[in-house]
Amino acid sequence: MVSKRQKLARKRFKEAHPNLFPKPEPSKDPSSSDPTKKTKKKKLEKSNGATLKGKPTKRSGSALRKHPLRVPGMRPGESCFICKSKDHIAKLCPEKAQWENNKICLLCRQRGHSLKNCPEKSDTAGKKYCYNCGEVGHSLSKCPKPAEDGGTKFASCFICKERGHLSKNCPKNEHGIYPKGGCCKICGGVTHLARLCPNKGNKDLASSAGPQNTGEPDRQGLQSVYRSGDDLEDDFIAEEEANSASGMAVSDECKIKFLELKAKRNFRFIVFKIDEKVQQVMVERLGEPTESYDDFTACLPHNECRYAVFDFDFITDENCQKSKIFFISWSPDAAKVRSKMLYASSKDRFKRELDGIQVELQATDPSEMSIDIIKARAF
């Protein structure tokens, strides 16, 4: 059913664009001069109208026109997945260039382009390529020839750029398929998961897999405790301490102040800092409810990483007052590499302690967390 609003919009559109709706000229039918045929047509129309009375008729193709208020290429209720705007599609988004620059190529692992536009892309990059025989058209699992050299004779490693092995078996890759540390809980290897371990049936190896507590610091000066056993739910057996790569410990003040922001709205924003001396996430600054978003961005240092929570108030299209809590991970380019790694590895653990975050935003530059981007992510 066409609503009155749609009829009124269509009428206004026709009045504003009369050139798009030319009046059809009456067709000259040579048989119209015969009066007997007219009467026959009238009788047929009456008889058809009597038999089809009360039944819906099919609409002709000329009656199906595009809705004047809808965006071409977008379904009702959808929006641009880049900026969340509803007046254009992602192909025509003004922020598409910035979004493209943040892409990571799956072939050369460089930022700024996708696999489709990679300069190192070969003719076989977009097709199925067999690592065993080197032919195009099928994968390794469907290769008719027997596996030679582990089935990776023609595979290329993206870590050392050499051929003959995958990245999980690369000698320069110390962690294998466990980028955050750990190993198979059965045999202690790093090239496979525990469920795919060849020694899965041997229980003697399960108790002696991996170092139990070496006490040797890793590259970041942190200690890890490796354990094994069937009581673990996953294949990652690195059970790190509070100051390990899984995340810093969170002070009770952080949780209390966040609950006050969420429930009582005593603060506009909270800035958190990792204190490496005590190995904890601490509260650095509390924003008053009267402070603005500019005051919040001004308190973030240009050469150090921070976590922040901001309570953003906005008015919807239906004229309703709403608010959303943003979690912002601030990691500027001028910050130290160790600090970036520390904040990145501790982010997930810290977010789990703050129950009630609605939108997450990661920024390396003030332009990536401008007020326009905040508004676009809020709607």
Each of the 379 residues of the chain gets a pLDDT tens digit; together they read 678 888 888 888 888 888 888 877 776 655 555 555 555 555 555 555 544 444 445 454 445 566 666 777 777 778 888 888 888 888 889 888 888 888 777 777 778 787 777 887 766 555 677 877 878 778 777 788 887 777 777 787 777 778 777 777 777 777 777 766 778 888 888 878 888 888 877 655 444 444 444 444 444 444 444 443 333 334 443 333 333 444 578 899 999 999 999 988 899 999 999 998 888 999 999 999 999 999 999 999 999 999 999 999 988 888 888 889 999 999 999 999 989 999 998 898 899 889 889 999 999 998 999 999 998 888 7
222 and 274 both lie in a single domain: no
234 and 254 both lie in a single domain: no
Residues, the chain, total?
379
228 and 283 both lie in a single domain: no
Judge residue 119's burial from the number of C-beta atoms within 10 Å of its C-beta, 0-12 exposed, 13-18 middle, 19 or more buried. exposed
Residue 343 lies in a domain: yes
Residue 338 lies in a domain: yes
254 and 230 both lie in a single domain: no
Residue 371 lies in a domain: yes
**pLDDT (0 to 100) of residue 312:** 92
User: Of the residues 201, 217, 244, which one is the last residue of a structural domain?
Assistant: 244
181 and 205 both lie in a single domain: yes
Residue 117 lies in a domain: no
209 and 308 both lie in a single domain: no
Residue 262 lies in a domain: yes
260 and 364 both lie in a single domain: yes
Cβ-based neighbours of 248, under 8 Å, separated by 6 or more: 242, 274, 279, 280, 281, 342, 346, 349, 350
Residue 325 lies in a domain: yes
Domain encompassing residue 283: 249-378
**pLDDT (0 to 100) of residue 48:** 55
**pTM of the complete model:** 0.39
CATH number, residue 268: 3.40.20.10
**pLDDT (0 to 100) of residue 69:** 62
189 and 269 both lie in a single domain: no
279 and 309 both lie in a single domain: yes
257 and 328 both lie in a single domain: yes
**pLDDT (0 to 100) of residue 328:** 94
228 and 312 both lie in a single domain: no
**pLDDT (0 to 100) of residue 153:** 77
In terms of phi and psi (left: phi > 0; alpha: psi -120 to 50; beta: otherwise), the region of 349 is: alpha
**pLDDT (0 to 100) of residue 299:** 93
CB 132 within 8 A of CB 154: yes
User: Of the residues 244, 269, 293, which one is the last residue of a structural domain?
Assistant: 244
Residue 274 lies in a domain: yes
Nearest to 296 by CA among 322, 323, 328, 333: 328
Cβ-based neighbours of 347, under 8 Å, separated by 6 or more: 247, 307, 329
Residue 143 lies in a domain: no
User: Of the residues 216, 244, 272, which one is the last residue of a structural domain?
Assistant: 244
Judge residue 240's burial from the number of C-beta atoms within 10 Å of its C-beta, 0-12 exposed, 13-18 middle, 19 or more buried. buried
Total domains in the fold of the chain: 2
CA distance 259 to 299: 22
268 and 325 both lie in a single domain: yes
At 289, which amino acid appears?
P
